């Protein structure tokens, strides 16, 4: 059995889908099973990964865990200890390229580094997936694009190499199932750095329209994100990283191609895959 924390998140949902397609037993942790909309046949665990005692009964028979730090919060050590006690052998953690390459506010990279250290000292076999910004972060632009045909954002010239969630999920599944990846830390990025302007243009191409990126002050963008109900760490995380990448492009690595045997999926492909989200 594979236990997936953050099962309704960007990567977790895709990992659950891929595992379910292989008929591998998978337990998907969610706080709201009724709204989870997970694939048929998946064992849905009603629990909270940040409160590991709610998962105790679900850990029996679990061989490996996908650890999503945002879902687990400050309970990483407790969850890993409980998993080990129940016989789990392996953990794959979703981390960030900022641990290795820097960028953004230091406190976020340090939080990921601390979680990585806890994973390494857990006694479980481990693999670290240090991800660039997710291409799926652009879904936050969908309401603006549908309503106004534009994106009001900050740091339009900031260049990052956003990674497609499908690539991360495929690598996560391989690491969960194959001991070859034990003890490795991979830096997963898209194939090329793109500015915010270029990303919006590619979304327009996917939809068949022209959309504009309108530069706005970072604090104004931050307030707008908070008004949408996002917790303060989300705009701080995103805007802090973009500020760094406006001075120096984010990293591009070949790890995805090395691991999957094909080039990393580009942002244009991601935009085509998600075009419906941006149509009025």
Q: Give the CATH number of the domain where residue 216 resides.
A: 3.90.25.10
In a domain, 166, yes or no: yes
Query: Which residues have C-beta within 8 Å of that of residue 259, sequence separation ≥ 6?
Result: 171, 174, 186
CA distance linking residue 57 with residue 46, whole number of Å: 11
The pair of three-digit structure tokens given for residue 174, joined into one six-digit string: 């391989």
38 lies in the same domain as 177: yes
In a domain, 261, yes or no: no
Query: Using 50, 70 and 90 to split pLDDT, how confident is the model at 56?
Result: confident
Query: Using 50, 70 and 90 to split pLDDT, how confident is the model at 134?
Result: very high
Candidates 50, 57, 62, 2; CA nearest to 28 is 2
In a domain, 131, yes or no: yes
122 lies in the same domain as 28: yes
87 lies in the same domain as 220: no
Last residue of a domain, one of 146, 172, 188: 188
Concatenate the DSSP letters of all residues of 125-170 into one string: EEEEEEE--BGGGGGGGHHHHHHHSEEEES-TT-EE-PBPHHHHHH
102 lies in the same domain as 200: no
In a domain, 168, yes or no: yes
In a domain, 258, yes or no: no
Q: What is the pLDDT of residue 241?
A: 95
Judge whether residue 280 has pLDDT over 80.
Answer: no
31 lies in the same domain as 146: no
18 lies in the same domain as 150: no
Residues of the chain with pLDDT > 70, as a percent, come to: 100
89 lies in the same domain as 211: no
Q: What is the pLDDT of residue 234?
A: 86
In a domain, 150, yes or no: yes
Per residue in 178-222, pLDDT (tens digit) is 999 999 999 999 999 999 999 999 999 999 999 999 999 999 999
In a domain, 89, yes or no: yes
How many domains does one find in the chain? 2
26 lies in the same domain as 74: yes
22 lies in the same domain as 143: no
**Distance set, CA 118 to CA 30, 37, 270 (Å):** 23, 31, 33
29 lies in the same domain as 155: no
- Which residue segment(s) compose the domain that 203 sits in? 137-160+191-249+266-278
In a domain, 254, yes or no: no
How large is the greatest C-alpha to C-alpha distance in the chain, in angstroms? 55
- Mean pLDDT value across the chain: 95
92 lies in the same domain as 141: no
67 lies in the same domain as 156: no
């Amino acid at each position: 059995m594979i236990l997936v924390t953050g099962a309704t998140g960007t990567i977790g949902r895709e990992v659950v889908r891929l595992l379910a397609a292989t008929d591998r037993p998978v337990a998907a942790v969610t706080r709201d099973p009724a709204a989870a909309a997970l694939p048929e046949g998946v064992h849905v665990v009603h629990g909270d990964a940040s409160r590991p005692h709610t998962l105790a009964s679900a850990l029996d028979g679990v061989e490996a865990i996908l650890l999503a730090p945002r879902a687990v919060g400050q309970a990483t050590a407790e969850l890993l200890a409980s998993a080990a006690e129940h016989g789990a052998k392996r953990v794959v953690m979703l981390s960030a390229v900022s641990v290795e390459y820097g960028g953004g506010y230091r406190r976020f990279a340090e939080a990921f580094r601390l979680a990585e250290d806890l994973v390494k000292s857990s006694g479980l076999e481990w693999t670290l997936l240090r991800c660039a910004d997710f291409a799926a972060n652009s879904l936050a632009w969908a309401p603006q694009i549908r309503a106004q045909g534009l994106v009001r954002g900050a740091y339009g010239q900031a260049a990052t190499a956003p990674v497609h969630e499908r690539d991360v999920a495929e690598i996560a599944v391989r690491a969960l199932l194959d001991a070859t990846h034990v003890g490795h830390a991979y830096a997963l990025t898209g194939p090329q750095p793109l500015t915010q302007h270029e990303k919006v243009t590619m979304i327009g191409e996917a939809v068949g329209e022209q959309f504009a990126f309108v530069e706005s002050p970072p604090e104004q963008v931050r307030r707008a994100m908070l008004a949408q109900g996002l917790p303060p760490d989300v705009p701080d995380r995103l805007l802090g990283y973009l500020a760094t990448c406006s001075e120096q492009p984010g990293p591009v690595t070949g790890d995805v191609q090395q691991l999957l045997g094909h080039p990393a999926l580009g942002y244009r492909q991601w935009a085509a895959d998600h075009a419906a989200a941006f149509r009025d």
